[in-house]
A and B are shown apart, each in its own frame.
Chain A
Amino acid sequence: MNPYIPLFVIIPFIGFLISLLPSNHQEKIIYRTVFITLLSHFLLLIWVSIQLYFHHNGAIFFEGPALYKANNENFSFHLYMDNQTIIFAVITDFILLLVSTFSKTYLHREKGFKRFFNNMLFFFLGLTIIEFSGNFETLFAGWEIIGIASFLLVAFYKDRYLPAKNAMKLFSVYRVADISLLLGIWLSHHYFKRSINFQELKSLDIIYLGNDHDIYIQAIPFLFLLAALVKSAQYPFSSMLPRAMEGPTTSSAIFYGSLSVHMGVFLLLRTFPLWDDLVIFKGVVIVFGITTSLFATLIARVQSSVKTQIAYSSIAQIGIIFIEVALGFHTLAIFHFAGNAFLRTYQLLVSPAVLSYLIHDQFFHFVKPNNQITDNFWGRLKISIYQLSIKEFNMDTNMYRYLWNPLKWIGRKLRFFQTRKALILCGLYLLVGFYFIFIKKYYAESWLHTFSFIGGLLSLGFIFSAFESRINAKNAWLQIVFSQFLLGQCIALNEQFEIGQLYLFLSGIVFAAILGLIVLNRLEYFGQSILLNKFHGYSFIRPRLGVAFLIACLGLSGFPITPTFIGEDLILGHLHENQIGLTLLISLILVLDGLAIYRIYARLFLGTFENGYNPTAYRSS
């Protein structure tokens, strides 16, 4: 039985690779690849599920290869399949099969026909990895893949301003969720002293020792919850969902209407054993669920655009699903997920039809609504709620006001890091630091820790300044690379540490850094400005450079399966759970480096390319 499980991940992966081969106008070949991939996956899934039902009871586990193994460090690719997996996977396959068939005709002759289906299979790969994951590391890999696939699909019409802007907006929030998940994984490593498999999760006896450790085991679910809130667009992250509906209607339907948006629910269900006994945590989930569904329903009521209305209605139902999960009604939650996914997919697919349908309906049944609003407290309250709902309860503006703007403000204050002087000084600091790494046994630990912490601060400084940079992209890119080096050094100095892991981490960085620099140099060579003051849209004339740079970004930001990622993961393992300060520092660096890196990609390769020659869109469209 077990040997089949890897196929569930291998099929999408092979399908994705094959779909990269044809050229854009070979629509039939592209579609067939997608269809065969999905159908074979679906059939295999049904077959295995039936087998599972008759021969085993419960779940099967597959121990995958270890990607990295040394001492007690173990980074393995495990797969797992239980009822939850089956239901989520069946619904995923079913919806994707339908929507891809729908899209075959819908996207005919679109310039991004191939790109769309590549993305869809990439997304499918991410989903199956999540659904079939056997441990958190594997789940995280899938989680990151959908993040990138979402980013690319929001920016599907990359020659317009709003998709570029909203892709970045979505990515920023996703990045917070990713790092939160990563921290959760790190904490659980520390708590359990190893990587836990989902198989053992249910039988895991989590004992509250009543000592310092409790705070960690209790923090783990909160970190997972943050990740789930973001992915499922719950309060206060809801406003990003309608803004993510920039791609073709069909992609909005699968990503934000039905599948991607329910992955938060999946995560909560998966991690339920971890918080089964935490009453306070359940209370928090319920509060978020109630707040979200209340706000989202109100916002949906006042929306005058159809897709936004569907998005908020979907969010409201997911809020209720969160409550169901917290209360332990898991069967109901899964049914609710299925119903919501089908309904929203359908609603979105036919959303353009509402115009003629509702106008026709209005033609025969219109009654002018009674607009009497009583002039008492309730009347005034009603009006206030209306106004707040129109403003989406300030969710979108708050995200700027309380999150991004302060970060940018700090970045502006740290412009010193953009100077050549800063780069040279830090280069020296790095050299000294690496020297220390090799001879660290001769120095006092406390001294090394201080040196390491300062390195961490410098790394943060660079990343802040790169995150806000409006000048040369090469400069910002170098700042990010420096920041990564400082980060590696910071951790290497922190404790006894295998140098091989540092090499692994840095090898990824160096490769990505060089690739990135080559691309930037090519752009300059072609006479293009690489200032980060606006979206340049170079994908339009240099699509290949765009792809190369995207790969460099994936490498530099620690995308799963890249050496950087494994290194990052291992490095995190070296933080002590009592080093709260350092942990927060490093998390912040990781959040910001992702943003700074993709910001460079977005600024250079997304947006409108103006050469006065080809027609371009107005900024507001």
Chain B
Amino acid sequence: MTKHIAFDEDHVLHELKHYLPSQTPLKDFIHHNSLHAFQHNEFFEGIFKASSLFGCKVTLSLNEFRKLHTLGRIRTEILTKTILDKFGEADFPGWLDKVLNKSYDFNILPEVGLFRKNWQRFYHIDLDNAIQPLLFRIIGSYLDQGIALWHFPFEDKGLIAAVKLLEEKSFSSFFKTQRAKNLLFEQNLSITGLLKLLVGKETLFQEYIFDQQFTHRGWSGIVGAIEDNPNSILYPKSVTLKDFIILELLLEIDALTVEFGDNWQPLGQLVPKEPADLFAPIRRTELKEVLILWQMAFEWSYYDEVFAGIISLQKQKKSLPVKDSSQINSQTEFIGIFCIDERECSIRRHLEHVQPHCETMGCPGFFGVEFFFHPANGKFYEKLCPAPVTPKYLIREIESKGVRGHEILFSKKANTMFRGFVITLSLGFWAAIQMVLDIFRPKMSAAISDAFAHMNLTSTLQIEVSTPIVVENGLQVGFTITEMADRVENLLCGIGLSQNFPPIVYAVAHGSSSANNPHHGAHDCGACSGRPGSVNSRVFSFMANHIEVRKILKSRGLIIPEKTQFIGALHDTASDEMAFYDLDLLSPENKLKHNLNVVNFEEALDLNAKERSRRFASIKTNKDIKHVRKSIQKRSVSYFEPRPELGHGTNALCFVGHRQLTKGLFLDRRAFMNSYDYRTDPNGDRLLGVMKPLPIVCGGINLEYYFSRVDNYKMGAGTKLPHNVMGLIGVANSSDGDLRPGLPLQMIEVHDPVRLMLIVEHFPEVVLKTIQSSPEYYEWFKNGWVLITAIHPESNQLYFFKNDQFYPYTPLLKKVNESNDVHVLIDLATEMKTNEIYHATQEHIPVHILN
């Protein structure tokens, strides 16, 4: 972050890209920290820096906090403790008054954008209005993946090269003046060269570029993201941020020349301005301190309740027998391994309730098998593992019976003149009927994203390598026996499942079906790069069932009994339906057992649907449970439903530990849960492997929800309703608008913006060692972007991590709510009146101990 007096083009572009939104095209939705560029700062330092640069809101507003306090959602004792911890006894009354009563001036003038505003002040010209509509149209058409019927000519040449060719051959022009056109064809066309004309003073170049690109952060961000990940789009386009900036600078020169002829002075000459250091550290103001206090009190009001719940739950239970081999007793009917996703938290609870003789576990939903997937007849591969991983394997679908239909009304031919004429006069009337059907009898169709269609139920996969090993595009087709054994061992030992296997182990992946939803990928499995995890669950089950694999595992001490079988499954988190794969492989004995288990799953799904329905205004929760289930299913295929499900909204916790830690605790679907057994790993050798993906996956989800919640305008995508799909890569409002990265309002309104609290069941020193394993991993915790607490497995003492150390923490809440019946809790829950935070937060049900 040094100040660059001399303008270094590459360096500035690199910096710029770092700060621009890095969301890739919507086809794959990968959650990430919206302010990732500030992650090397301490959390509050970073977010307030972002706020002063870009003008975004980074916490709730003071009024909202105060209302939450009046409401009791922020507890006074916690607020008191927060102030005392930070400022001590002596300053307490002063700060309390500031926090509760003092009024502040909130105006901030974002630093980015200040300099370029001077065009308007000194030249009375609105450059943004003059150039943005055309600029967005050009870049939109250039990147378009398949909406336009007519492609951008020469699009394979690169943006500027294509524009040059166009200008050379066309009788028309994008530019209004010869001057801009001449500049385009100059030998040494460069950003620096153009900036000399526009800005003049070299010291101001960097500021100008930042100002300019952040007036349309959406488009600039997508250009940068596609440049860095060309594979994020199917229809390849070669584009660079550099070309995009050059085009914009040319259009600016063009617009200025139209207005003022050839004689206008560069902006830097006219504006008396010293270069500002955009990246200098910011001043801590009193207002910021107050907001920090409130934010911490807001977070801890919830964490404290959770901690109190855990402690009193542990007191009720006898602690786990140390190193007892029979943790899963012989009565266990089956085990379900679910994704750590907080949406699976409730179905696990219901399943355990319906069938007390089952166990549920959690692991990241790609089940430790990373690969690209090649569907039958597909022209591309799909990555099915967490985003940062680059797999070396390919799984091919050899045969698929499922044929995807076409929706005739989605035909682009209706948008041409003559065919459009025929279509409006014929299919136009069919559209009327279809509209009635879609509104009153919604059902699944090819135009709806269907989680189960990702891989057909009966398709055949090639999972094991053939001999000789085939390599396709640098990827090994299938896994070898040893590779399979490694993965199965890693996963099972990681979650602490190494003994006492029941007859059937289900690997339950998840996906989500939704209609009319450009953000559908955000509802799928984050550990599978925003796709349903069905293939992974099948591949994992195949590996674990493989006789040769079991032989190797046996030699390593992991004995899976012969009668135990693994079954892949997929849970649709929107429609609450489930599918099981490869059932014909089950032994006759297990088949019978499975048929019984399915009844349990069905019942759990009913209950899960009912629990979810409490947040949906269209469904009456206390109606007949089958009816509720049906309504839930209907939502997922309704075009008019902008909330088929609520995604990760409300997420706040992440557990790493044995299910006993949370079993019996009602957490209202707010916790990611990763199974882990400290007893099988006393030194924490496997802990890093287990915890490694959590900050990036769960923390990424949590922070994206956090920032989209606190400023849905600048960091979120705003309300979904006016969204217009641009080039199949993003959404914008209106036809001339900027792309809107981030999450739409409908996904975040139930969310309380609190940071993720990671709770690990292990000795604090082991946890400390684990998180300090690498500097970039440690950064998450050290800077407080993800919070972490260790729970001592033997004493059940909580240790909270701050300032590089774990400190003991004792919950302030003395009495934890108890309940005998989850359904009573759900039926009595409040429904939000509006989606303002102080109404929305009342929908959350406090932590309860279930008796």
Q: Is the CB of B435 within 8 A of A349?
A: yes
Q: Is the CB of A619 within 8 A of B428?
A: no
Given known A371-B155, A614-B61, A617-B718, contact A355–B733 (CB-CB < 8 A): no
Q: Which of A340-380 contact B (CB under 8 A)?
A: 340-343, 345-347, 349-366, 368-369, 371, 373, 375, 379-380
Q: Is the CB of B732 within 8 A of A106?
A: no
B144 and chain A: residue at smallest CB distance: A304
Q: Is the CB of A306 within 8 A of B517?
A: no
Q: Does A465 reach chain B (CB closer than 8 Å)?
A: no
- In whole angstroms, how far apart are the Cα atoms of A163 and B722 in the complex? 11
- In whole angstroms, how far apart are the Cα atoms of A388 and B712 in the complex? 36
Q: Is the CB of A618 within 8 A of B714?
A: yes
Q: Does A44 reach chain B (CB closer than 8 Å)?
A: no
Residues in A whose Cβ lies below 8 Å from that of B728: 354-355, 358-359, 362
Residues in B whose Cβ lies below 8 Å from that of A618: 215, 217, 713-714, 738
Q: Does A433 reach chain B (CB closer than 8 Å)?
A: no
Q: Does B617 reach chain A (CB closer than 8 Å)?
A: yes
Q: Which of A59-80 contact B (CB under 8 A)?
A: none
- In whole angstroms, how far apart are the Cα atoms of A306 and B720 in the complex? 15
Q: Does A338 reach chain B (CB closer than 8 Å)?
A: yes
Residues in B whose Cβ lies below 8 Å from that of A368: 235-236
Residues in B whose Cβ lies below 8 Å from that of A619: 128, 215
Q: Does A204 reach chain B (CB closer than 8 Å)?
A: no
Residues in A whose Cβ lies below 8 Å from that of B712: 615
**Contact mask A298-317 → B, CB, 8 Å, 1/0?**
00111111111111110011
Q: Is the CB of B141 within 8 A of A302?
A: yes
Q: Is the CB of A243 within 8 A of B736?
A: yes
Q: Does B456 reach chain A (CB closer than 8 Å)?
A: no
User: Which of B11-19, B413-421, B757-765 has 4 or more CB atoms under 8 Å from chain A?
Assistant: B413-421
Q: Does A327 reach chain B (CB closer than 8 Å)?
A: no
A349 and chain B: residue at smallest CB distance: B639
Given known A316-B417, A352-B723, contact A106–B431 (CB-CB < 8 A): no
Given known A336-B425, A349-B639, A621-B737, contact A363–B380 (CB-CB < 8 A): yes
User: Which of A244-252, A278-286, A436-444, A584-592 has 4 or more CB atoms under 8 Å from chain B?
Assistant: A244-252
- In whole angstroms, how far apart are the Cα atoms of A620 and B642 in the complex? 24
Q: Which of B425-475 contact A (CB under 8 A)?
A: 425-429, 431-432, 434-436, 438-439, 446-449
- In whole angstroms, how far apart are the Cα atoms of A357 and B643 in the complex? 19
Q: Is the CB of A304 within 8 A of B639?
A: no
Q: Does A328 reach chain B (CB closer than 8 Å)?
A: no
Q: Is the CB of B153 within 8 A of A364?
A: no
Given known A300-B416, A301-B150, contact A102–B639 (CB-CB < 8 A): yes
Residues in B whose Cβ lies below 8 Å from that of A300: 149, 415-416
Q: Does A40 reach chain B (CB closer than 8 Å)?
A: no
Q: Is the CB of B639 within 8 A of A350?
A: yes
Residues in A whose Cβ lies below 8 Å from that of B738: 618, 620-621
Q: Does B721 reach chain A (CB closer than 8 Å)?
A: yes
Residues in B whose Cβ lies below 8 Å from that of A194: none
Q: Which of A569-615 contact B (CB under 8 A)?
A: 610-615
Q: Does A275 reach chain B (CB closer than 8 Å)?
A: no
Q: Is the CB of B421 within 8 A of A320?
A: yes
Q: Does A98 reach chain B (CB closer than 8 Å)?
A: yes
Q: Is the CB of A615 within 8 A of B735?
A: no
Q: Is the CB of A302 within 8 A of B27?
A: no
Q: Does A384 reach chain B (CB closer than 8 Å)?
A: yes
User: Which of B102-110, B535-543, B692-700, B789-797 has 4 or more CB atoms under 8 Å from chain A?
Assistant: B102-110
Residues in B whose Cβ lies below 8 Å from that of A106: 640-642, 721
- In whole angstroms, how far apart are the Cα atoms of A201 and B517 in the complex? 50
Q: Does B825 reach chain A (CB closer than 8 Å)?
A: no
Q: Is the CB of A313 within 8 A of B133?
A: no
Given known A305-B140, A359-B728, contact A346–B431 (CB-CB < 8 A): yes
Q: Which of B815-851 contact A (CB under 8 A)?
A: 833-835
Q: Is the CB of A343 within 8 A of B107?
A: no
User: Which of B67-75, B165-173, B665-673, B769-777 has 4 or more CB atoms under 8 Å from chain A?
Assistant: B165-173
Q: Does B7 reach chain A (CB closer than 8 Å)?
A: no
Q: Which of A84-127 contact B (CB under 8 A)?
A: 94, 98, 101-111
Taking the nearest CB of chain B, how far is it from the CB of A267, in angstroms?
20
Q: Does A238 reach chain B (CB closer than 8 Å)?
A: no
Residues in B whose Cβ lies below 8 Å from that of A110: 719, 721
Q: Is the CB of A355 within 8 A of B736?
A: no
**Contact mask A7-28 → B, CB, 8 Å, 1/0?**
0000000000000000001010
Q: Is the CB of A336 within 8 A of B141?
A: no
Q: Which of B142-158 contact A (CB under 8 A)?
A: 143-156
Q: Does A616 reach chain B (CB closer than 8 Å)?
A: yes
Q: Is the CB of B379 within 8 A of A612?
A: no
A348 and chain B: residue at smallest CB distance: B724
Q: Does B56 reach chain A (CB closer than 8 Å)?
A: yes
Q: Does A471 reach chain B (CB closer than 8 Å)?
A: no
Q: Is the CB of B379 within 8 A of A245?
A: no
Q: Is the CB of B141 within 8 A of A390?
A: yes
**Contact mask B637-652 → A, CB, 8 Å, 1/0?**
0111111000000000
Q: Does A339 reach chain B (CB closer than 8 Å)?
A: yes
Q: Does B627 reach chain A (CB closer than 8 Å)?
A: no
Q: Is the CB of B714 within 8 A of A248?
A: no
Q: Which of B61, B425, B515, B740 has the most chain A CB atoms closer than 10 A to its own CB?
A: B425
Q: Does A46 reach chain B (CB closer than 8 Å)?
A: no
Residues in B whose Cβ lies below 8 Å from that of A316: 417, 420
Q: Does A195 reach chain B (CB closer than 8 Å)?
A: no
Q: Is the CB of B132 within 8 A of A620?
A: yes
- In whole angstroms, how far apart are the Cα atoms of A156 and B154 in the complex? 39
Q: Is the CB of A297 within 8 A of B407?
A: no
Q: Of B128, B234, B424, B520, which contacts A362 at CB under 8 A?
A: B234
Q: Does B134 reach chain A (CB closer than 8 Å)?
A: yes
Q: Does B231 reach chain A (CB closer than 8 Å)?
A: no
Residues in A whose Cβ lies below 8 Å from that of B727: 304-305
- In whole angstroms, how far apart are the Cα atoms of A191 and B712 in the complex? 58
- In whole angstroms, how far apart are the Cα atoms of A452 and B137 in the complex? 50
Q: Is the CB of B416 within 8 A of A297?
A: yes
Q: Is the CB of B425 within 8 A of A371?
A: no
Q: Is the CB of A357 within 8 A of B407?
A: yes
Taking the nearest CB of chain A, how far is it from the CB of B594, in angstroms?
32
Q: Is the CB of B148 within 8 A of A364?
A: no
Q: Which of A101, A111, A366, A383 has the most chain B CB atoms closer than 10 A to its own CB?
A: A383
Taking the nearest CB of chain B, how far is it from the CB of A223, in angstroms?
29
Q: Does B57 reach chain A (CB closer than 8 Å)?
A: yes
Q: Is the CB of B107 within 8 A of A313?
A: no
Q: Of B26, B410, B417, which contacts A297 at CB under 8 A?
A: B417
Q: Is the CB of A342 within 8 A of B429?
A: yes
- In whole angstroms, how far apart are the Cα atoms of A351 and B415 in the complex? 13
Q: Is the CB of A317 within 8 A of B421?
A: yes
Q: Is the CB of A309 within 8 A of B424?
A: no
Q: Of B155, B424, B724, which contacts A306 at CB under 8 A?
A: B724
Q: Does A474 reach chain B (CB closer than 8 Å)?
A: no
Given known A110-B719, A352-B518, A355-B725, contact A615–B415 (CB-CB < 8 A): no
Q: Is the CB of B171 within 8 A of A381?
A: yes
B434 and chain A: residue at smallest CB distance: A346
Residues of B within 8 A of A (CB): 26-27, 56-57, 61, 63, 105-108, 128, 132-134, 137-138, 140-141, 143-156, 166, 169-174, 215-218, 234-236, 375, 377-380, 404, 407, 409-410, 414-417, 420-421, 423-429, 431-432, 434-436, 438-439, 446-449, 515-518, 520, 617-618, 638-643, 710-714, 718-728, 731-738, 740, 749, 833-835
For the complex with contacts A306-B725, A358-B145, A396-B133, 7 further pairs of A-B residues with Cβ separation under 8 Å are A101-B640, A305-B732, A335-B425, A359-B728, A387-B166, A616-B714, A620-B218
- Please name 27 pairs of A and B residues whose Cβ atoms are closer than 8 Å in the assembled complex, sorted by A: A105-B618, A109-B617, A109-B834, A245-B724, A246-B722, A252-B722, A297-B416, A302-B141, A303-B141, A306-B724, A313-B414, A313-B420, A343-B428, A349-B435, A358-B728, A362-B145, A365-B379, A371-B151, A386-B150, A386-B153, A390-B137, A613-B61, A615-B710, A615-B713, A620-B218, A620-B738, A621-B732
Sorted nearest first, the 6 A-B pairs with minimum C-beta distance are A339-B428, A612-B107, A612-B106, A248-B721, A304-B144, A313-B415
